[in-house]
């Protein structure tokens, strides 16, 4: 008696066996998979839950409900070539000449005709239409949960729709780059602009109705430009709310400029000391020329005299004054390099030389 109870299947086991047999037979007739039911993985379960959380959108067409519509949409149409996206560099602001050539060539290869676009969009929306059908069938059941066969159908049709959606978007990537370059906004980073355009392109794929007879690029361009405008307005509002984040005084340091100015001031003071203390062994005429030419004869640095004015003081022509000045400057420069610039690098020596020229 106890043995018979152990070997006899329970009513629940009998139901499960009948259900597995029904799923196996119906899965063999599946128009999508043509394979037996398999246990869903964790990732498939998560994807299925996300799909069932909201009703699937699609652009309807009378063709979807005709007899043999699946075969007519997927099998009785020519194949549409998939795009090559190896040229795509979304974060490159200034593309090289080689990249521009590759972009143009690739874009020419993937431009679709109106008929090819209708094929892809019919396939895309028919797959979403089939997902919607299974969703409604599931929601009409008391449990509102898909059977294994229904889960397979939903996942297969959803993934097919995503592949076609990706193909359409990749075919039009060059459109996003072209629009981003044409509507450059100095306050928006180029990579952020392209990213916003790509998201707008995907939304345009979901909303486009190929049955109206328009090209997809006409619809997508407007959607991309609107996305750019929203991004600019969003950033503008952020700047108004947090103005200190974009203060140019905080974004750019003046350390190098201040350091250069201080160094030039020190070098000029050192030149003045060399002249007044005559550490460069200048002659009396050379000292007179330098002091008057650069206003070093007083503590307050009088306005420098011209060559002609200095020549009148020492009784020579202005050309002779220039020669005396150049010779004296060479002596001062040598003294400066030996005693003041000995421990400096090349850039600092260059700054000091400019300070000598400037007086």
Helical residues (DSSP H) of 208-254, grouped into ranges: 216-241, 248-251
Question: In 3D, which of 118, 109, 120, 103 has the Cα closest to residue 83?
Answer: 109
Q: Residue 346: what pLDDT? A: 56
Beta strands in the chain (DSSP E): none
3-state SS assignment for residue 240 = helix
Mean pLDDT for 159-180 is: 92
The answer to whether 32 touches 156, Cβ cutoff 8 Å, is yes
Q: Does residue 137 register a pLDDT over 60?
A: yes
Helix 318-339 to helix 346-358 angle (10° resolution) is 150
Mean pLDDT for 327-336 is: 86
Confidence of residue 55 (pLDDT cuts 50, 70, 90): very high
Is the model more confident about 325 or about 351? 325
Q: Residue 290: what pLDDT? A: 86
Is the model more confident about 77 or about 8? 77
The pLDDT tens digits of the residues spanning 226-273 come to 988 888 887 777 666 665 555 555 556 677 788 888 888 887 888 888
Contacts of 231 (CB under 8 A, 6+ apart): 185, 188, 192, 193, 196
For the chain, domains (ranges, CATH) are 41-241 (1.20.120.1810), 255-358 (1.10.10.10)
The CA–CA distances, whole Å, from 227 to 41, 92, 186, 308 equal: 37, 20, 16, 68
Q: Residue 15: what pLDDT? A: 43
Percentages helix, strand, coil for the chain (3-state, rounded to 5) are 70, 0, 30
Q: Does residue 6 register a pLDDT over 50?
A: no
Question: Which position has the token pair 């070098």?
Answer: 267
Question: In 3D, which of 66, 86, 84 has the Cα closest to residue 76?
Answer: 66
Is the model more confident about 23 or about 263? 263
Is the model more confident about 18 or about 290? 290
Mean pLDDT for 64-90 is: 85
Mean pLDDT for 195-202 is: 92
How far apart are the C-alpha atoms of 356 and 272, rounded to whole Å? Answer: 9
Contacts of 250 (CB under 8 A, 6+ apart): 244
How far apart are the C-alpha atoms of 319 and 302, rounded to whole Å? Answer: 23
The answer to whether 192 touches 241, Cβ cutoff 8 Å, is no
The burial of 324, by beta-carbon neighbours within 10 Å (0-12 exposed, 13-18 middle, 19 or more buried), is given as buried
């Amino acid at each position: 008696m106890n043995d018979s109870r152990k070997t006899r299947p329970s009513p629940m086991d009998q139901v499960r066996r009948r259900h597995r047999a029904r799923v196996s037979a119906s899965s063999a007739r599946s128009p999508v998979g043509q394979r037996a039911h398999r246990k869903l993985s964790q990732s498939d379960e998560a994807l299925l839950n996300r799909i069932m959380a909201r009703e699937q959108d699609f652009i309807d067409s009378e063709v979807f409900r005709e007899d043999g519509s699946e075969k007519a949409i997927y099998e009785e149409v020519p194949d549409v070539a998939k795009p090559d996206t190896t040229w795509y560099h979304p974060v490159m602001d200034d593309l090289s000449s080689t990249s521009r050539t590759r972009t143009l060539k690739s874009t020419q290869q993937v431009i679709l005709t109106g008929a090819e676009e209708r094929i892809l969009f019919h396939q895309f929306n028919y797959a979403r239409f089939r997902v919607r059908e299974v969703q409604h069938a599931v929601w009409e059941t008391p449990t509102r949960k898909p059977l294994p066969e229904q889960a397979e159908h939903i996942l297969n049709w959803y993934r097919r729709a995503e592949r076609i959606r990706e193909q359409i978007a990749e075919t039009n990537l060059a459109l996003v780059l072209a629009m981003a370059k044409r509507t450059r906004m100095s306050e928006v980073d180029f990579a952020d602009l392209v990213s916003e355009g790509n998201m707008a392109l995907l939304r345009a794929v979901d909303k486009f109705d190929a049955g109206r007879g328009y090209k997809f690029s006409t619809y997508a361009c407007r959607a991309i430009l609107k996305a750019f405008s929203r991004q600019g307005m969003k950033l503008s509002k952020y700047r108004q709310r947090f103005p200190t984040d974009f203060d140019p005084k905080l974004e750019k340091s003046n350390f190098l400029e201040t350091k250069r100015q201080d160094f030039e001031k020190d070098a000029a003071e050192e030149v003045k000391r060399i002249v007044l203390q005559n550490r460069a062994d200048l002659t009396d005429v050379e000292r007179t020329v330098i002091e008057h030419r650069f206003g070093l004869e007083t503590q307050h640095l009088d306005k420098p005299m011209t060559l002609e004015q200095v020549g009148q003081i020492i009784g020579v022509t202005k050309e002779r004054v220039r020669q005396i000045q150049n010779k004296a400057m060479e002596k001062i420069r040598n003294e400066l390099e030996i005693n003041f610039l000995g421990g400096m690098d090349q850039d600092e020596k260059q700054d000091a030389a400019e300070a000598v020229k400037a007086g």
